[in-house]
Chains A and B, each alone.
Chain A
């Protein structure tokens, strides 16, 4: 019995040593803010609490795409829907049967943290730009402001909104922020897009 267990102990010990060494390398690289080393298992656990992959934010918040209410369809074919438990609301974008989600608290939604911007920037794409997001409670419509002062508006459906367009070319006006429009057309607040200036494509 002891002859059988000894090799396993060696394997375990060796594997632990490899793991610790690799973790040390990763930690060294992380401390120095660079390097090509990849994250260790313990480091990964500091970032995410559920398995990564499609729909991670839904799983992280205990919500399901099957409970979501339809809101819109984007030009790229993605279907937008919303699901909420009261404290967290998620905008689910489903494309080709795959779910993705952007989730935020009510306060985060007011600040625009439920907004995502997707850009097709490759030469082989259609150059689509999709702005989709969650709107604060009681928001009737959303106005998208551009850098040249122009704007366009869209209605909020089941707590979400979208703007379809194309990526702004260099030097052209670009969208900068949204305004929340409530009952009677009054502006109730505004939020910036999660894009640095006109850096829509990288």
Chain B
């Protein structure tokens, strides 16, 4: 009986792990905690270095946005914007992050400004 419970537990764990992986793979939208907050990975592919960018799938009340490049430290910029009154931009080498506490619905973006192609991934979350 103990073995059966063990097998069932392993099956449940495996199922949960696979479902979590599938959720991330399909939507890359993951709960950021126990509350109703929303978090999203975006990008993850190579973009050109002349102001090319990756962007979140939609606008949310994001308060935190971060991005990083793989395999180098190009000029990068993180942006939270509603293309109007809100436009927060932070620059860094190979990575960037920013906060915005205005609670407006904003898109999250990350730019590669390093001249060459780099794979860039972004992550944005609501409070």
Q: How far is the CA of A35 from the CA of B47 in the complex (A)?
A: 11
Q: A47-B70, A194-B93 are in contact. Are A39 and B18 (CB under 8 A)?
A: no
Query: Which residues 41-86 of B sit at the A interface, judged by CB distance below 8 A?
Result: 41-47, 51, 57, 64, 66, 68, 70, 73, 75-77, 79, 81-82, 84-86
Q: Name A144-189 residues within 8 Å CB distance of B.
A: none
Secondary structure call for the B interface: strand
- Chain B contact residues (Cβ within 8 angstroms of A): what range? 35 or more
CB pair A202–B32 under 8 Å, yes or no, is no
User: Are the C-beta atoms of B41 and A33 separated by less than 8 Å?
Assistant: no
Given contacts A12-B15, A19-B25, A102-B92, contact A194 B87 (CB under 8 A): no
> Inside 8 A of B101's CB, which chain A residues have their CB?
95-96
Complex Cα gap A11–B28 (Å): 20
Contacts of B26 in A (CB 8 A): 18, 22
**A interface residue count range (under 10 / 10 to 19 / 20 to 34 / 35 or more):** 35 or more
Known: A52-B39, A98-B99. 9 other contacts (CB 8 A): A26-B25, A43-B44, A46-B70, A48-B121, A52-B123, A54-B97, A118-B88, A125-B88, A193-B91
A sample of 22 inter-chain contacts (CB < 8 A) reads A5-B8, A16-B18, A19-B25, A22-B22, A22-B26, A29-B45, A30-B45, A40-B24, A40-B44, A41-B24, A43-B44, A44-B44, A47-B68, A48-B68, A53-B32, A54-B99, A118-B90, A194-B75, A195-B75, A200-B89, A201-B89, A202-B87
